[in-house]
A and B are shown apart, each in its own frame.
Chain A
Amino acid sequence: MNDRQLDVLVICGSLRRGSYNAALARSLPALAPPGFALRAAPSFEKFPIYNLDLQNSSGFPTEVNAWADAIRAADALIIVSPEYNWSIPGGLKNAIDWASRMKEQPFKDKPVALQSVAPGILGGSRSQYHLRQSLTSVDTILFGRPEVIIANAAQKFDEKTLALKDQTAIDLIKQQLAAFEKFIRRVSAKV
């Protein structure tokens, strides 16, 4: 564990193509330490709205199983998400709700780091604190600081390519990812 490369799964909370958070997620591989191999999680776009009756009658949908397996296989997660109506986007929360009901619950003991970007001045921080609250219920191990909260998104990404161009944000993300690598190696089950 202490020298091998870490398999880190990136989950984006927005489904739209031009999403700043998706753009942020795409910027991570270039900013990650050599000890990280980052990959994007399968989409939760096709998950039905959670309903216990559905789970009991036809089991967990294929897409939910694929998402959960990707989480289980990863050493850690990075959730990059916008804030909708001062909280977690419903689609992302719905995905967490499905996965939380599974046996061998995928989030259990999983190290998680959070990032958010928003056009406004608070940078999606309220969504992050709600995620902290909800991820506590599924027994993740949450990374603390530095927090990556990127406000005023329109000024920080290239309008056409959506490349992250703000040096302060770039440096902060690098710091977070480097600290997250140490955190993962520290809290993971010793093998």
Chain B
Amino acid sequence: MATLNVISICGSLRKGSYNAMVQRLLPSLAPEGMKVMPAPSFAEFPLYNADIQNSTGFPAPVNTLADAIRSADGVIFCSPEYNFTIPGGLKNAIDWVSRLPNQPFAGKPIALLSASQGPLGGGRVQYDLRRAMVFLDAFTLNKPEVFIGAAAAKFDEKTGELKDETARSLIKQQLAAFATFIARVAPKS
């Protein structure tokens, strides 16, 4: 089987983000045949405004992210939860991308991971992302779900290493399941 090219999108922009740590770990936990690369950043997207879209078109960074999504075999979101739901910046990125012709998320396999300092590990943000992905006609992987709660105790702050073996093993299982899922839902040629 050909290599699966998967991109990862981190919902947090801060350098020390636990979700960015999760994102950086993915390549080492992915199954053979799956390559995971970070997606281009949405940090410079303006806030969505249809007037901008209609006057000057889609901003260059929006097209760059959209192209990366279109050409990927799957997309993995690693996102914190802000105020019980999706971070505004990540949602803004999804809002921009959703308005493009040849809508990039349509038919795209999606996997979700979240880490947080609280006990729920970002439970609410994942279900809200699932909901937005339904509207965008993506295929979202069901299980195993990866919620990493009490993140401060599980990561080495300096190296970003995930010390918790249960969490590492769960991520491995999810990525293996994601590879199977991608193969199953991919268009048959």
Q: Which residues of A contact B (CB under 8 A)?
A: 14-18, 44-45, 47, 49-54, 84-97, 100, 126, 130, 133-134, 136-138
List B residues at the A interface (Cβ < 8 Å).
Answer: 12-16, 42-43, 45, 47-51, 82-96, 98, 124, 128, 131-132, 134-136
The residue of chain B having its C-beta at the shortest distance from the C-beta of A95 within the complex is B88
Q: Are A137 and B48 in contact (CB under 8 A)?
A: no
Q: Would you give the shortest CB distance from B175 to chain A, in whole angstroms?
A: 26
Given the known inter-chain contacts A84-B95, A93-B91, please indicate yes or no for A134 contacting B132, CB distance below 8 A: no
- Nearest residue (CB) in B for A126 is B131
A4 to chain B, nearest CB (A): 31
- Let me know if B48 and A88 touch, CB within 8 A: no
Q: How far is the CA of A54 from the CA of B12 in the complex (A)?
A: 12
CB pair A133 B124 closer than 8 Å:
yes
Partner of A130, one of B45, B95, B128: B128
Select which of A17, A89, A136 is within 8 A of B95 by beta carbon.
A89
A91 touches B88 (CB 8 A): yes
Question: Given A94-B88, A133-B124, does the pair A50, B13 have CB atoms closer than 8 Å?
Answer: yes
Residue of A nearest to B54 (CB): A16
Contact A87 B47, CB 8 Å, known A92-B88, A97-B83: no
User: Closest CB-CB distance, A79 to chain B, in whole Å?
Assistant: 14
A88-B91, A89-B95, A96-B88 known; A15-B135 Cβ under 8 A: no
Give Cα A17 to B45, complex, Å: 19
Task: Contact check, B88 vs A93: say whether CB atoms are below 8 A apart.
Answer: yes
Given contacts A50-B82, A85-B98, contact A15 B49 (CB under 8 A): yes
Selected contact of A134 from candidates B43, B83, B95, CB within 8 Å: B83
Decide if A134 touches B85 in the complex (CB within 8 Å). yes
Q: Are A49 and B51 in contact (CB under 8 A)?
A: no
With a cutoff of 8 Å between Cβ atoms, the chain A residues found around residue B84 in the complex are 133-134, 136-137
Given contacts A49-B42, A86-B132, contact A91 B51 (CB under 8 A): no
Residues of B within 8 A of A18 (CB): 50-51
